[in-house]
Chain A
Amino acid sequence: MSKKRFIKLYRGENRMAEKIVVIGGVAAGTKTAAKIKRENSKAEVVIITKDAHISYAGCGLPYYIGGVIEEERELVVKTPEDFKLVTGIDVFTKHEAVKINKEEKNVEVKDLTTEEMKIFPYDKLILATGATPFVPPIEGKNLSGVFSVRTVSDALKIREMVDNGAVKKAVVVGGGFIGLEVAENLHERGIGVALVELIDHILPPFDEEVALYAQNYMCEEGINIYTREKVLSLVGDEKVKKVVTDKREIEADLVIMSVGVRPNINIAKEIGVEIGVTGAIAVNEHMETNIKDIYAVGDCAEHVNLVTGKPAWYPMGSTANKMGRVAGINIGSEGKDTLKGVLGTTVVKLFKLNAAKTGLSERDAKKAGFEVETALVPANDKAHYYPGYREIITKLIVDKNTHRVLGAQVVGEGVVDKPIDIIATAITFDAKVEDLEKLDLAYAPPFSMAMSSTIVAASVLTNKLTGRVKGIGPIALKNRLSELQIVDTRDEGSFMIGTIPGAINIPSGEIYMRADELDKEKETVLVCKLGKNAYLAYIKLKELGFEDIKILDGGMNAYPFERE
């Protein structure tokens, strides 16, 4: 060691023991470390982290801001002291790993409190460096009152401002999960909240019609949402006062930057660890990088999407923990455990609305080269006669040629995590839509419909694949309103409240008698509340010789655009 500035060489307690160094101490880092120690109690495992906290519930931060989680300590799963006591792992908080020497097999670490440099030799190194919020390089981003929400410290500062009554108006930049959750929590604290999103809708990974459903819901709850809008700068002197977009200026005492996160890869990249196409560290199914004895887990590492078999990046706690366990087994007991891939399964609560997604969106499936068929089906989470049931809308996406299930999204006030988990399981085992349709799922009125929402959605999709019915999605309909003959098949009262612009009303029971009011040659779309009445009318019109007819997928209940 020629560099004299290193005062300390960390040797641990037993010089002969295998030395494991983990960089990063939130979900994946602590999981890996703990699992290694459980597999091999003789190994000396240390965790090095810049942060003051380890093993904290990053996903809980928005709820701490909102006061749903009352105290800071509830967020922290384990303190470093507890962690050491329980696991025998040494944790160095406020220590920054600065450089890896892959030949010497050690890590140069700076003690952020004392500025002292330390060297940690390793036999095996685990990179769990996580991800950092991306803050666009705009003017004013360093003003006071501008925050990202990633660490406990971020949340503490925001909560303090809110508790002190210093925030009347807030702007959230970015409509992903964290942004939406923070928006909800700030709103619940009585703060006026505006949200600015660059793309066409909030919830970027979701398909547009599903995301717009959630967006309308958030607007009704009182969040002002501006989409297709770019934040240009933040203005104020010292403290932020307003947000300037390409369309307007919005006053704000607090600005939350939540446009996304980027994997922390610099320390790895410097020593030639391979970075994948997604920009995160490439690992194989054993969590090994291209450099021997160096592993990567959690948000800094890349995954494989099980549907496409291609690299993907899902910075999520659920995936991070699984990667940690796999790495832990492989390092601790020289096993060959694998994580073949993930589906990006996720779920979020927005006020009383729940939204979940697994696998590919329709957009991503098409991008990946699949020819798809989709269904958009409103149903209930319980029997419709059981008090307290709620509607959920399922969007199901399958490969038109093989009928393999590619992805799904479920949104509504009801239970969405059960159906999304059913579908995630089905996709994992390569199910076709016909398999999904025939699943034997638990049923009693308080829990499900006799034909559960997932099965109904699969049945509708099967009807479409077999040519029993043709559908048109809400977006396609909205874009072609003026070209189509639109028939609302609901009762007169429902029609009066609001229908698709330009639609005429013929209740499905009258369709035989009144079919002559329609132009047989014109492309016709049948609309009802959920889809069933339109389907009945569809069958009748087919009998009468109508050929070019479709029903509106998801009915009025899933139609997220303007009504008249």
Chain B
Amino acid sequence: MTEAYIYDALRTPRGRGKATGSLHATKPVSLVVGLIDELRKRNPSLDQDRIEDVVLGCVSPIGDQGGDIAKTAAIAAGLPDHVGGVQLNRFCASGLEAVNQAGQRVRSGFEDLIVAGGVESMSRVPMASDGGAWAMDPETNFKTSFVPQGIGADLIATLEGFSREDVDAYALESQTRAAKSWADGAFERSIVPVVDRNGLVVLDHDEHVRETTLEGLSGLKPSFAGIGEMGGFDAVALQKYHWVEAINHVHHPGNSSGIVDGAALVLLGTEEAGKQNGLTPRARIVATAVSGADPTIMLTGPTPACEKVLAKAGMTVDDIDLLEINEAFAAVPMKLMKDLGFPHERTNVAGGAIALGHPLGATGAMLVGTMVDELERRDLRRAIVTLCIGGGMGVATIIERV
């Protein structure tokens, strides 16, 4: 069987996703081009004629990010004309989906060398600006009991009995770990500073990380109580979860993922392609899975996805060293750890999106890079990367150091 190897993983730092963020003046296509340049620079023996496709996740593919940004970036970066480009959207797991699809195409033997990843400039193309029937078409919205994710996150906390103190404590730990990762140089191998056209550094660190205290967190106002009440969304969720009397709104900006700008790339290929290009494999894709759960609570998909990917791989959680779950909202990783019986010490070891931010289309690929780095740094073998996704989906991938 052909294996799909990960040869390299790169990412930009994450800039605050607003006009005051450092990356706001940098176009999304430039973020990707910068990473492609760096990929070539770091791997001088890589024959770019051998690259077959660029697969990029992007969740709001309109405006700056519209019109197949993957092929656009490939052309702009000067990749050969025959190198394709395709943009995909699996909401928040788009970056991981790109890696998985590339891995599947490599492992199937159909293709040999693919660049996968994702990009999202949330400061330039705001979340949900691409519309869509699910939220925007009243018939579909009604039929599917649509509610915004934050309501789902608060409902998870309510159902699981996670208190405001619990989720805030989790958030603080994410910040602590992220700060430690930066202090320890844990991201050094992956991070590629964003530079301007003169080569001047625009951003070289994740700027969403901040010093946090429990007291500070406890003072923040819940983000979704207002729309839950005024927007009617609590009522919609409770009509479905009728045994719950009221939703406990515990999530706020301090314990939810940060809105940021960023991009990431992962180079995947066959063993043969690696050898021919003088590349050393760092890890292999063991198994991938997509699954899903109720679209209204929306964020419980990681559990079935992880269970499915473990079953596909013929493994149990005991075979897994590290768990990386996107911190969309604190309740999401907390629920997954509870469901899988997986310890917090080995989950999101480098800090997560609460501290670092979640550039929607890019995050999944960033998390793959983080796990490759951490498995090497800690001399461990296997990790699961997973994300909760709009529509109730979950995607999970097992990688193994080689």
| B is a partner of A | no
Interface residues of B (CB under 8 A from A): none
Interface residues of A (CB under 8 A from B): none
